[in-house]
Amino acid sequence: MHGTAVTPIIHNYDFHGLLSLRIRRRHVSWADSFLDSTFAHYRVEPSGREPDIDVEVGPFRPDLRGALRLDGRWYVSPGRILYKTRYKVARWTTEIGGLDGPHLKVRIDANGPARMVFPGETIYSLIRLRLAEKGLLLLHGPAVTHAGRALVLPARGGTGKTITALNFARRGWGFMGDDSSILAPGGVRSFVVPFNLRFTYDVARLLGVRFSPAKRREIFLKKCLSIATLGTINLFSRIDAREVFGPNIVDEAPLGAVYVLIQGPRAAISEPQPAAAIARSVLINTLFEADELRAMLLAYCYGNPESPLARLWDDFAVRLAERLFGCMLRRVTVPARYTPDVFEMIWRQAEEDLGRGARP
Amino acid sequence: MNALYDIHGLRVRMTGLADASFPDINAKLHWFTVPEDGRPVDLEMAIGRFEPDLGSCMVLDRRYWARPGYLYLEEADKGLSWRAEIQGLDRVPGEPMRICFAHGPWNRRRQPWLLFPDLVAHLYVLWPVLECELAARGMYLVHAGGVERDGRATLIAGRGGVNKTAIVADLVHRGWQAMGDDFVLLARDGQAGAQVLAFPTSPRWFEFQLRHMEDEELMFVDKLRLFWFLHRRQETNVAFSRRSRLGRLVLVDQTEGCAAPESSPLDPAAAAARLALNCRMERVAYVGHGTVIGRFLEAYRYVMPDSTYSRAWDGLGQALAGLMSGVPACRIVAPPAYDRRLADAVESRSRCGRLDGFGTSD
């Protein structure tokens, strides 16, 4: 199914003119549709300029001469790192070059299952790294907008980020991303990627959207499977955010408020919190999503202690605290059972916090 | 089975340890064992079934449950799984901390009785807590081998697999005294300077290495010999030096395609930074993708951002920079396969133990 000599398939992406990404792949396989759909919102025509991150997917022969060998797993030399990753049956080798310059040259050799995993792991790591170096913070949490200002909702998985963001969208708020959002110096930038839904709640009815017939069939089959196995097998469906939100997508807005959602015993909203405490929670939340990048940076900096990348997370924390300063910062406790009342509570507070700042 | 350890003043009691045929090969703290005296301890760990109390806890990733001073976790890695609860995070000084630990159903199969089944509890739960507790007492657990001669210690730091144990064993043959082959503790010594405290993690393995092995390649024959060696249960005669003044740091790096060990001087600040990175890498090195040892402490700070519990360990880099200032350091680049020349290089770099700056010894 793969490995045949084909002309490479090249896709170019551009994130708000802040970061450009090019992905070239040398094989054709259904597993790659995952890679193609991940950043589809940011696909652009080739510009002729050298991209910030140049990724080549396909087998390659690494050159390890002169490389520092760490734990038999990472190979580090100035500006370059090679490492192998395993996750269940997925196996992939990544080589990143140009870490000391402005353009990253990346080669990824992945087996079949890994092609569904590395877009969300390795490519995310690269984007996170390059954005952080430019002073742009990719936070783990959706962002919505109201009255021209953004509300960011950092939360751990399973807390109810997606359902909160969807509910906000239903009330006509702008949507900036379901999984992550970018905190830039001037405000929040969108980061719209397809989102993974488990159909425990009915998105189609909630938002009044009609999915394509193929998607409806897929969702129906997955639901049947879930019912037949009494919920043991509950598969994800990937939904294109543009299909659901379309005109509601907002690409840029100044930051108005940050609510850290935490699952807890009963629904509650805290009083405004100091920036340092919220920044720490947001940082830890982001670090939890960036395991691969964290390990890779540790290994790279062990070999190249002089590299400015050694300060990446420290700088991240400082910038984060700076940008949160002056915003409405709260902690929201969300019970394990997410009911309409919970959203109602968050919505009322958010309406008040964002609306208040909009008034002259 | 119970055990009481006294780690340079930090008293740790473990209860409910499984019976292991050779506890001294994998029980990381075995060397610190002291007879039970019934006095209170700083840290208590009970292994066995327990019921967590999750009332009013915040939940993260359905893996961590936290409320002020309390944490419950359910983690898994590489086919092993475990549950643990920690009471007494952010406690007032002098109060004990209590950890309950329960194995998952498959752990015994993955970690057979022959070795030390409770290694899981040590590596994934006790170790990060221990690092924080020691750091809070001004002792920093660093990932480096240590040898001592004439009251001056040389640290041999490097990632796993750079043959630290083999180097330490070779130096012991040449009349040095060992302080630990994988870890040592660094602490302040009076007004200025640093002292090294012994932290031998598996002295029996080190002894076997010392007597019977030339490098760290454990062939099948070696495994049989190791089994026989442990089976005879001879009295150990390897003496570890308990404490000594820090004299020098040697950083060993392995490079592909390198012919012979080459050394170069290293700035003490850079050496301290590398040493701190080495300790941090220990938390991600041997675990599966997506696992970080000690993540539960981060999860706790996510819920309780004002907690100061792991702050001492977070400041590891600065603390080591302070301890290492003025300590001569060098870096040796070596080929991946071990040979004696590496120990020669380390020894020639350490022989002139005077604190006369680096690069002047040869």
Query: Model ipTM?
Result: 0.90
Q: Averaged in consecutive runs of 10 residues, what is the pLDDT profile of chain B (362 residues)?
A: 93 89 79 92 94 93 94 91 94 90 85 71 94 94 94 92 90 93 91 89 87 83 86 79 93 89 91 94 87 93 92 91 91 89 87 46 38
Note the Cα B296 to chain centre separation in Å.
19
Question: Can you read off the two tokens belonging to residue A274?
Answer: 């100091």
* Helical H segments across chain A, by residue range: 32-38, 118, 124-133, 161-170, 203-207, 213-228, 241-245, 275-289, 291-303, 312-324, 340-358
Tell me what the pLDDT averaged over chain B comes to: 88
A288 at interface of B, judged by CB pairs closer than 8 A: yes
Suggest the residue from B281, B283, B293, B324 to mutate for an interface test with chain A (most A CBs closer than 10 A). B281
**Min distance A50 CA to chain B CA atoms (Å):** 31
**Min distance B353 CA to chain A CA atoms (Å):** 26
Indicate the residue type of B324. M
Q: Quick one: DSSP state of residue B63?
A: T
B-chain CB neighbours of A66 within 8 Å are 255-258
| Contact in structure between B194 and B187 (CB atoms under 8 Å) | yes
Q: What's the pLDDT tens digit per position in B57-111?
A: 999 998 999 999 999 999 998 888 999 999 999 888 888 999 999 999 888 777 6
> What pLDDT sits at residue B94?
81
Indicate the residue type of B274. R
With pLDDT > 70 as the criterion, what percentage of chain B qualifies? 95
d(CA B133, CA B122): 14
d(CA A263, CA A337): 10
- Rg, Å, chain B Cα set: 21
d(CA A207, CA A181): 21
* Domains in chain A with CATH codes: 4-134 (no CATH), 138-194+247-355 (3.90.228.20), 198-239 (no CATH)
B-chain CB neighbours of A288 within 8 Å are 61, 295, 298, 302
Partners of B102 in the β-ladder = B83
Cross-chain residue pair B303–A87, CB shorter than 8 Å: no
Cross-chain residue pair B298–A288, CB shorter than 8 Å: yes
**Min distance B357 CA to chain A CA atoms (Å):** 21
B307 at interface of A, judged by CB pairs closer than 8 A: no
Cα-flanking dihedrals φ and ψ of residue A236, to 5°?
-75, 150
Suggest the residue from A85, A121, A124, A156 to mutate for an interface test with chain B (most B CBs closer than 10 A). A156
Q: Quick one: DSSP state of residue A8?
A: P
Residue A40 has pLDDT above 70, yes or no: yes
The model's pTM is: 0.90
Note the Cα B102 to chain centre separation in Å.
22
Q: What's the pLDDT tens digit per position in B249-260?
A: 999 999 988 889
Partners of B146 in the β-ladder = B155, B180
A306 at interface of B, judged by CB pairs closer than 8 A: yes
Chain B stretch 148-187, residues whose beta carbon is closer than 8 A to a beta carbon of chain A = 159-161
Farthest CA pair distance, chain A: 63
| Contact in structure between B212 and B225 (CB atoms under 8 Å) | yes
Cross-chain residue pair B284–A294, CB shorter than 8 Å: yes
